[in-house]
Structure 1
């Protein structure tokens, strides 16, 4: 039998136990608190569209955790980037109505999703936040967070850009209203400005984010209007590919760096078309989010703090090893 949620809360408070990352397969522990081999936990994981290489990798991690741990699991996501706020509101409401044992969710749009997360918590559903929502997860009653430190991601990008000689940069944000994207751009800008450079933000409407041609034209427009731009920082692997194409279209010598990974991004780093990528390791986010929920429901243990999955800087110096992993285990470090 699973320990009750009330007992789990008590156990977590009394033990202040850290996350255990081994020996956690379903049925592997025969103590009174462990789940029986015939009883499966039901967890709903609300995350991003798998059409995005980042979330394709995230889902692989979630799928692997569900298989390893014997969880009855549902991956709930939008089909694309259209109407994201109302779509995620509906997905979260639907998840709450199903009364799962736990919900794992990305807090992508706090104004809309935080009241719903609080609603789930009030209904007695344990909630774990992944990817977005680092700053507020405790305040809204969630029990854990795994993901990047977005400001640190931005700062790492800024440092890499400055080292490469950037003085006039652009940060391309394709997820307006998402705090993580804004904090990445802020961290990037802080480093560039501290080194004496300038930065401008280019916001791509979210509904256009999957239209490579529109993204390319928007970036090329900035490059044409300001030929002195020497660095473009993007916040997604597909946006990076469009940025590379935009520099060619505009005849610009601006360098491009990005967050997130795909096979195309890794090959572009190899070829020198892309300066760097900052990997927040979405596979780990997907896996650890499920793992935290599983261990809490079974044993009442929780991480003491946020679990950081990034930043991990990929450059020409280490890209070969990362690409080898992605070739051997397709999609683990980002889909093609």
Structure 2
């Protein structure tokens, strides 16, 4: 896969050496690379500092980070072409540009753990400076992660983590608390449905990026004490396959009371079936995970009760930041787990997702600052 490239440091230095006017003309790209985050913050923070402002103060500022190697972080992924990870890749690009790093996006398009392991081993052989990988298999990544650490390469898990009690030695996890997110979904299901058949759809049972959600949802429904009959349905790894399996299940179980999913593709499939058969009018509830455009539109149209945003942009952004700080400090700082959060998106809160196109949700390549509007809701 193509690697992110940014302007060499020599070009950044040439802009600085033009004098004050050169600095004032510096673009966002030029300003945020070269000597790294510290230099950028020193330049930005100097604006308005005394009468010299940006021109008078920035040139004499000592950046907290000296010039450094353009460290390369290799992101191994389990579904490299899945639209869910478009904002993740934008987060990686933005953080890499900000911190003066390079990256590579590689792995498997079909959740093949063996292919992912080979990608990790290739990154080790190529002497990557850091590796980030979703640990989607309970044991397959134990040896390659240890091999990377033995070679002095820090490894971070993102999006999916090793199970509790695992011996996997990854340094930190950046992503949603998957079991907790599923548990909270299960609580919401129990609030929506009093009794009857509820289907829980999952693309690939056992895979660690989604199985903990299913486990959490099932536990919460069971703990509610309601007479809800949960049936788990495997849907497959592609959107078309998922839709077909969901449609077939509904046609064979038209007395069901709820249809919910723990992955993006299955959630979109649930929403499509809810629309095609107008199931909300029949008292059927639905919901799931992630922000595929079709899912968002059908929440707005009233066919789905909710979806859960796990904020994929920051899963990439924060992983790069953790790797940078670890490398810059010689391993003295960090690493630490980062929970990227859980946010229920419903009909009452969906409009900003429809009306705004940003890199943060993967809808545009354009870099922008989105103005705040109205009160902040937790």
What TM bracket, shorter-length normalisation?
A: 0.7 to 0.9
Q: 1:25 aligns with which of 33, 37, 50?
A: 37
Residue 136 to residue 65, structure 1, CA distance change in 2 (3 Å): farther
Does the 8 Å contact 1:35/1:298 carry over to 2? no
User: Deviations for 1:47-80, whole angstroms, at most 9, x for unmatched residues?
Assistant: 24343221111111111111111102111132x3
Question: Quick one: structure 1 residues 255 and 295, their matched pair in 2 at CA, closer, same or farther if it must change by over 3 Å?
Answer: same
Residue 235 (structure 2) aligns with: 204
Residue of structure 1 equivalent to 2:182:
154
| Secondary structure of the structure 2 residue equivalent to 1:179 | coil
Q: Could you say what secondary structure the match of 1:116 adopts?
A: helix
- For the 8 Å contact 2:182–2:262, the answer to whether it is kept is no
Matched, 1:71 2:83: no
Greater Cα offset, 295-304 or 195-204: 295-304
Match of 1:241 among 268, 291, 301: 268
Indicate the residue corresponding to 2:323 in structure 1.
293
1:130 aligns with 2:142: no
Task: Give the 5 Å matches for 1:100-139.
Answer: 100-133=128-161, 135=163, 139=167
3-state DSSP class of the match of 2:140?
helix
Decide whether the 8 Å contact of 2:88 with 2:315 is kept in 1.
Answer: yes
Q: How many residues are treated as equivalent by the alignment?
A: 304
Deviates more, 1:271-280 or 1:254-263: 254-263
1:171 and 2:200 correspond: yes
The 3-state SS of whatever aligns with 1:74 is strand
CA pair 141-33 structure 1, distance change in 2 beyond 3 A: farther
User: 8 Å contact 1:26–1:68 — kept in the other structure?
Assistant: no
Structure 1: 5+ residue stretches without partners? 1-23
Query: How far has the Cα of 1:99 moved from its partner?
Result: 1.3
- Shifted more, 26-35 versus 170-179: the winner is 26-35
2: distance between equivalents of 1:65 and 1:148? Answer: 19
The TM-score normalised by the length of structure 1 is 0.81
> How far did residue 272 of structure 1 move?
0.8
Shift of 1:275: 1.0
Shift in Å at residue 185 of structure 1? 0.6
After superposition, what is the alpha-carbon deviation per residue over 1:154-210, rounded to whole angstroms, capped at 9, x for unaligned? Answer: 1121122222225321111112331231110111112222231221111123xxx21
1:305: how far off? 4.3
TM-score (norm 2): 0.73
Change beyond 3 A, Cα 1:113–1:246 = same
What do residues 114-155 of structure 1 show as CA deviations (whole Å, max 9, x unaligned)? 221111112221111111115459943322211011111111
CA distance in 2 between counterparts of 1:127 and 1:35 reads 24
Bigger Cα displacement from structure 2, 289-298 vs 177-186: 177-186
SS in 2 for 1:110: coil
| Offset from partner CA, 1:205-225 (integer Å, 9 cap, x none) | 3xxx2141x322211222233
Question: Compared with structure 1, are the counterparts of its residues 131 and 245 closer, same or farther at alpha carbon in structure 2 (3 Å cutoff)?
Answer: same
Unaligned runs of 5+ in 2: 1-35, 43-60, 365-378
Of structures 1 and 2, the one scoring higher in RCO (CA 8 A, sep 6+) is: 1
Q: SS where residue 170 of structure 1 aligns?
A: strand
**How big is the alpha-carbon RMSD for the aligned residues of Structure 1 and Structure 2?**
2.7
- The C-alpha deviation readout for 1:90-135, integer Å capped at 9, x for no partner, is 2111111111111111111232122211111122211111111154
